[in-house]
Amino acid sequence: MTWEIKGSCIEEYDNYAPTNTTHNHSLTVSSITHTMSSPKVVRWGICATGGIATTFTKDLLVDPTTRGVKHIKHTVVAAASSSSQSRAEQFLKDTGCPKDAKAYGSYEELVKDPNVDIIYVATPHSHHYQNAMLALEAGKNVLCEKAFTVNAAQAKELARKAKEKNLFLMEAVWTRYFPLSVYVREQITSGRIGPVARVLSDNSLAADPEKSFSDGKHRLVNPDLAGGALLDLGIYSLTWVFQTLYHTQPEKTRKPPKVLAALKQYGPTKAADETTTMILSFPRSEEEGGEAHAVATTSLRVASFPGGLKDVPAIRIQGPKGEIQVFGPAYRPERTRVILKDGSVEEKDWPQPGPGKGSGWYNGFGGGKNDEGEGHGMFWEADEAATAIVEGRKEGNYEGLDESIVIMETMDEVRRQGGLEYPEKIETTKFPAPV
Ligand SMILES: NC(=O)C1=CN([C@@H]2O[C@H](COP(=O)(O)OP(=O)(O)OC[C@H]3O[C@@H](n4cnc5c(N)ncnc54)[C@H](OP(=O)(O)O)[C@@H]3O)[C@@H](O)[C@H]2O)C=CC1
Ligand SMILES: O=C1OC[C@@H](O)[C@H](O)[C@H]1O
């Protein structure tokens, strides 16, 4: 096999374009051209065996050429469960992993496996810091589920450790890597709607919490697991705000927002948020359009789409020349609409590619579905992580560690204003956590 890296140019997802459009779509995923006789295989180790680990692993095993990706392939060489080795074995079977993949009964064993190139951390956010640090300390690259950590101090420590060890580290905010998100950012940077003046962003699920999580143990409401709407769902409301108002700015001039927050505690546990709303103000020079505003909101009580209705935009990105609307759940949108001042309207559908229908998604508390073989959309972030490793990059292209840290700082400030603190054992930066 040869794997040649050249100096400049782009890689295209040339088989994947939105439907209902004549738009000529090419996505820049790297700053180098890959010329190869066969794709580079990246070997994954899966840390935890819960809901999202299952969805992600199934997506990893979808043939990348079904989305036009030819320069890399993914394989799963190991998975670990903190509960038992047999659970890891079952996980490997259920997700259709290669027969020789190793099953471990502890995360410590997984990170020592010399065949693993990158670890995907899929534990509750309360545990991301400890689990990602374990992997980095052992010399492994890491893709870590959202929310990256419980607080910004932990995020900074992980970034520091990755740098010290010269390892790749990325927060797994899958939505950022969707072709739909790339398209939206391109509409902004090309100036199509003018400088963005305001963003309205909602990611809310009417989860019926007292009924669905009546014992208070579910990760969405359990303070020991950093429960609440903000870290689980609000991160997507903020993702849309940051990827449109912050990431689209030149790195040198990006400035963190001022934040004003209202946070309602979830009654039964009083240590997780039920509904949180943030007003953000991004400082900008006059040449950049001046100060820009955002309202980002999230809730476990009420829904962005009551009754499953998806005809209300979850995100509205507004500029003087027009507005971009994004439909479907903020974490997995499937349609965009651009409305320009001249009255023209352009709609695009963005179904997830893959062998299945791409119609279901895992929602973290028993709803939704995860159809056999469907493209869920988590492969885009996996492609980015694998591409970075092959290229020798240490961060993701569409959300670097500095940006993950600024977002964690924003959520810290929201929690400070709302009086939401988690137990010290999960807020700590000590590694390993004191028992
Ligand atoms: N990107 C996305 O779309 C989604 C992302 N997520 C994120 O993924 C993470 C996991 O969520 P999800 O898969 O729904 O959660 P689950 O509860 O389904 O799975 C979490 C897994 O983590 C492991 N684990 C380790 N320690 C603990 C602990 N103390 N309590 C509970 N589980 C533990 C367990 O696996 P084992 O016993 O094998 O070690 C468990 O199965 C969260 O950070 C969440 O924000 C969740 C849903 C969707
Ligand atoms: O990341 C997520 O996206 C889908 C949600 O339903 C889930 O709770 C969350 O963790």
- With beta carbons less than 8 A apart as the criterion, state whether 157 and 148 touch: no
User: Residue 176 burial by CB count (10 A; 0-12/13-18/19+): exposed, middle or buried?
Assistant: buried
Measured between alpha carbons, how far is 256 from 407 in angstroms, rounded to an integer? 9
Domain with CATH 3.40.50.720 in the chain: 3-175
- With beta carbons less than 8 A apart as the criterion, state whether 370 and 95 touch: no
Report the candidate in 122, 363, 80 with the shortest Cα–Cα distance to residue 220. Answer: 363
User: Residue 199 burial by CB count (10 A; 0-12/13-18/19+): exposed, middle or buried?
Assistant: buried
Measured between alpha carbons, how far is 411 from 79 in angstroms, rounded to an integer? 31
* Residue of the CA atom closest to atom 8 of ligand 2: 364
> Residue 260 is encoded by which pair of tokens?
């004003």
How many angstroms does the Cα of residue 364 sit away from the middle of ligand 2?
5
The hierarchical CATH code for the domain 190-349 is: 3.30.360.10
Measured between alpha carbons, how far is 42 from 389 in angstroms, rounded to an integer? 8
- With beta carbons less than 8 A apart as the criterion, state whether 236 and 172 touch: no
Written as tens digits, the pLDDT of the chain (435 aa) is 223 332 222 233 333 556 544 333 333 333 334 455 699 999 999 999 999 999 999 999 999 999 999 999 999 999 999 999 999 999 999 999 999 999 999 999 999 999 999 999 999 999 999 999 999 999 999 999 999 999 999 999 999 999 999 999 999 999 999 999 999 999 999 999 999 999 999 999 999 999 999 999 999 999 999 999 999 999 999 999 999 999 999 999 999 999 999 999 998 888 999 999 999 999 999 988 899 999 999 999 999 988 877 789 999 999 999 999 999 999 999 999 999 999 999 999 998 887 654 444 555 555 444 444 446 899 999 999 999 999 999 999 999 999 999 999 999 999 999 999 999 999 999 999 998
Cβ of residue 350 lying under 6 Å from some atom of ligand 2: no
Show Cβ contacts of residue 68 under 8 Å, excluding neighbours closer than 6 positions. 12, 13, 14, 15, 16, 353
Report the candidate in 393, 6, 422, 26 with the shortest Cα–Cα distance to residue 228. Answer: 422
Instruction: Output the pLDDT for position 366.
Output: 53
Residue 353 identity: P
Domain with CATH 3.30.360.10 in the chain: 190-349
Enter the pTM of the model.
Answer: 0.92
DSSP-based three-state secondary structure for 117: coil
- With beta carbons less than 8 A apart as the criterion, state whether 105 and 89 touch: no
Q: What would the 3-class secondary structure string for 155-168 be?
A: HHHHHHHHHHHCCC
Shortest-distance atom of ligand 2 to CA 146: 1
Q: Which residues line ligand 1 (CB under 6 A)?
A: 48-53, 81-83, 87, 122-125, 127, 145-146, 174, 219, 225, 232, 331, 362, 364
Instruction: Output the pLDDT for position 362.
Output: 56
Domain spanning 3-175: CATH superfamily = NAD(P)-binding Rossmann-like Domain (3.40.50.720)
CA dihedral 94, 100, 105, 111 (to 10 degrees): -120
Q: Is beta strand 198-204 parallel, antiparallel or unpaired with respect to 315-319? A: antiparallel
Measured between alpha carbons, how far is 226 from 412 in angstroms, rounded to an integer? 12
Show Cβ contacts of residue 112 under 8 Å, excluding neighbours closer than 6 positions. 138
Question: Which residues in 272-292 are b (16+ Cβ under 10 Å) and which e?
Answer: bbbbbbbebebebeeeeeeeb
- With beta carbons less than 8 A apart as the criterion, state whether 280 and 293 touch: yes
How are strands ordered across the β-sheet holding 273-282? 258-265, 273-282, 292-299, 198-204, 315-319, 322-327, 335-340, 345-349
Shortest-distance atom of ligand 2 to CA 145: 1
* Residue of the CA atom closest to atom 47 of ligand 1: 364
